[in-house]
Structure 1
Amino acid sequence: MAKADAWGAPGGIALERRETRRDGLAGNTRLIAQPAYKRLLAAEPLLRRSIPALIIIFLVVVAALRVLSLMNERDEVERDARAILALAAGQLARSVSTNPADTSQDVLETIGRQGALGRSHVLAVTDSAFKIIAVSPQSTPWHGRSLDGLVQGGQPLFMFGDRAGVMEVSIDGRDWYAAVSLSGDRKGAAAALVPQDAVFETWRKTVSLNVTLFVLTAGVLIVILYAYFGQAARAQAADRIYLEAHQRIDMALVRGRCGLWDWDMVRGKMYWSRSMYDMLGYQPCDTMLSFGEVDEIIHPDDGDLFQLANRIVAREIDHIDQVFRMRHADGQWVWMRARAQVIDPEAPEIQLIGIAVDVTEQRHLALRSEAA
């Protein structure tokens, strides 16, 4: 009985103190992590409801940034196109002024190459009446036509030349950018033109690519959001089913005066169901009990838990069916019958699972019958 008397205070306190470690944290870790974890649990419903709003805000911000970026890119493309036209028209006008008799196609093509003009750019040289006398490329059917009659909405170009800058004009119902440079003696003019749709062709492809990527990104996020809420709903349903089943099992174990226990032989830890704590009068906890804590409340005359564990580890036995006494929290002895089986005898890590039934009444009845 020395073991039982020695256990009386220390052993019970050891089990009861485990109540303060239900969250599985200890020491400084518990002090630091537990408040943050509780706040996270409290904020979890709000965070879950805010996810759709956050995704929408994210998509709106991304769309706004891309729109601003694309508009800036469009402005840069337009500025570059205007600058190229102004330079090409001025260079062509200087060439015409230097060599008035030389208005051949070779001059136009040379200036086009030097100005890095594309196939859609048109260079034209006119006389003092703005009649086109040379044009590049040659496929452009403007030769011999009046440039001021061909261009709609560009009268300032023919009046002020370079000072009018690059203007948006219309030619045959199509929008163009045009620049006109007058010769010094006003006996001729040079013009550089390009269709607006040709200027922004690459930019429109970029816009199309960005729109496609944005739609795909939004679609993927929506699918992920749907999957997340579907998974969250299934997880909540599974948790609810598990909790209900666990409560039913606990209630059945409590009503039947029995408890479930799981013994991890390798780590030296044992899990008790809530009904085990209720039968012995201790505070339930979710952490694992050690060999020493369980062995302290077993009657010393009813066997040694360590000796039993050594036999199981040595593969001498693979099951347990034993009656023994365990100390109740109020100091009384409770007769328990434990039955357990090794889950997988071939596994390298031995683990037992079984039940313990309170047979105190049956034991007392048998003793009274024997005494009678």
Structure 2
Amino acid sequence: MAKADAWGAPGGTAFERREARSDGLAGNARLIAEPAYRRLLAAEPLLRRSIPALIIIFLVVIAALRFLSLMNERDDVERDAKAILSLAAGQLASSISVDANLGSTPGATQDLLEGISRQGAMGRSHVLAVTDSAFKIVAVTPQSTGWEGRSLDAIAQGGQPLFMFGDRAGVMEVRIGGQDWYAAVSLTNGRNSAAAALVPQDAVFYTWRKTVSLNVTLFVLTAGVLIVILYAYFGQAARAQAADRIYLEAHQRIDMALVRGRCGLWDWDMVRGKMYWSRSMYDMLGYEPCDAMLSFGEVDEIIHPEDGDLFQLANRIVAREIDHIDQVFRMRHADGQWVWMRARAQVIDPEAPEIQLIGIAVDVTEQRHLALRSEAADLRLRTAIENINESFVLWDSAQHLIMCNSKCQQD
């Protein structure tokens, strides 16, 4: 069948702005999904390339921010720990300087150490010690350390500046028993005694390390969830593409079957006044196929006015007077000829609030012409039989009378 542009259809403008499409979905699926699906199709290649990069950037940014936050927190913990040691050593040295006999009385010195160690900022891991002028420990708390009577400079390796400059050396890192400690030493006036405050670094950063472990665990879980989501996205995208391809192939097969059968699919939305045609319907009428919905007026415009009113039929269906149609009518071809169509359709759900009519329209032009030719041939045959001068009778194999002329009836 030759194709013609609807601009050339006689007196018709219903299909003048229709455009054919061949990308993405087809049929009713496109109508339902437009325009969001087309935007998704256009953005999908960019999304497939950008989503993995965005997830990696997100994880890197989160990791960098948490790393900087944890390092700042570690600096704060270290600064607070050093400040506590400096204050404790200074307070202990000041108390010994005020009472000159305090350093020479072990019992009073031990009470002083225990009193300072019970202050809120001091923990069980802190060690306070009082030494003589030779840095020999005369009192220590807790006593379980076993440092009493030993030389502090021998216990704390790498802390020589502390014993030389005292407070001016600040808080230093020293090695005690193979572990890293923070130590602060404060010398009394006259350097007769010294006060020392120490704490192991493991104890200082214990809570911070737990926070780091928790953050690392949460980060790993977050990364794992995002990776699973990414995998699910690509899997779903692949399945969606496969489903679209299968649907398009099935739709093309149905269209091919409809074209070969010289019939077209109608999907009529009575509430919205829109109608969907399959590609085969456009082919039968010679118009360019399109995926846009047709209005009642556009379809009614190409129906022969003597064969019924589409609006009247729609009103009867909406009024629920009928729930199906079986009607023969003529529709105008794109080249101006009339094509006989037989439409059969059924309401999908008569009880639904929105009426949806679906069915097929079959091209019966050849059958109509054949019936007319058969009728004309039969009329010529009857005329010829009547003009015979003799009686004429036609019987079938069962001896049933088929035909006779008037001469036979008279005889």
Relative to the length of structure 2, the TM-score reads: 0.81
Aligned pairs for 1:45-84 within 5 A? 45-84=45-84
Give the CA deviation at 1:38: 7.5
Gaps of 5+ in 2: 1-6, 24-33, 103-107, 378-411
* 2:256 is the alignment partner of 1:251: yes
* Offset from partner CA, 1:161-199 (integer Å, 9 cap, x none): 111111111112221100001111110000000000000
Q: State the partner residue of 2:15.
A: 15
Quick one: percent identity of the two aligned structures?
88
1:200 Cα deviation after fit: 0.3
- Distance in 1 of aligned mates of 2:232 and 2:244: 18
Distance 1:37 1:361, change over 3 A: closer
1:321 partnered with 2:334: no
The answer on whether the counterparts of 2:187 and 2:194 sit within 8 Å (CA) in structure 1 is yes
Aligned mates of 2:46, 2:338 — CA distance in 1: 50
Matched residue, 1:362: 367
Match of 2:372, SS state, is helix
Higher mean displacement: 109-118 or 235-244: 109-118
* 3-state SS, counterpart of residue 185 of structure 1: helix
Contact 2:9 2:334 in 1 (8 A): no
Q: Residue 173 of structure 2: SS of its match in structure 1?
A: strand
Q: Kindly indicate whether the alpha-carbon contact (under 8 Å) linking 1:16 and 1:283 is maintained by their aligned counterparts in 2.
A: no
What is aligned with 2:407?
A: none
Matching residue's letter, 2:254: I
For the pair shown, the structure with the greater C-alpha radius of gyration is: 2
User: RMSD across aligned C-alpha pairs, in angstroms?
Assistant: 2.5
TM-score, length of structure 1 as denominator length:
0.89
Matched, 1:224 2:229: yes
For residues 1-372 of structure 1, what are the structure 2 equivalents within 5 Å? 12-19=12-19, 41-102=41-102, 103-114=108-119, 116-372=121-377
**What is the alpha-carbon distance in structure 2 between the residues aligned to residue 302 and residue 36 of structure 1?**
40
Query: CA offset at residue 107 of structure 1?
Result: 1.9
Q: How many residues align?
A: 356
Q: How far apart are 1:57 and its partner, in Å? A: 2.4
Partner-residue secondary structure (3-state), 1:17: coil
Give, as a single letter, the amino acid of the residue that structure 2 aligns with 1:75: D
Q: Is the 8 A contact 1:18 1:285 kept in 2?
A: yes
Tell me the amino acid that sits aligned with residue 157 of structure 1: L
Q: Distance in 1 between matches of 2:290 and 2:22?
A: 5
Matched residue type, 1:232: A
Q: Structure 1 residues 232 and 21, CA, compared in 2 at 3 Å: closer, same or farther?
A: closer
* Cα shift at 1:229: 0.8
Q: Measure how far apart 1:216 and its partner are.
A: 0.2
2: distance between equivalents of 1:35 and 1:317? 34
CA distance in 2, matches of 1:115, 1:344: 79
Quickly say closer, same or farther: Cα 1:237–1:37, change in 2 above 3 A: closer
| 1:3 corresponding residue in structure 2 | none
Any conservation in 2 of the 1:11–1:297 contact (CA below 8 Å)? no
For residue 114 of structure 1, report the CA deviation from its aligned partner.
Answer: 4.3
8 Å contact kept, 2:20–2:291: no
Range that drifts further, 310-319 or 146-155: 310-319
Relative to its length, the structure with more helix (as a share) is 1
The answer as to whether partners of 1:81 and 1:199 remain within 8 angstroms in 2 is yes
Return 5+ residue gaps in structure 1 as ranges.
Answer: 1-6, 24-33
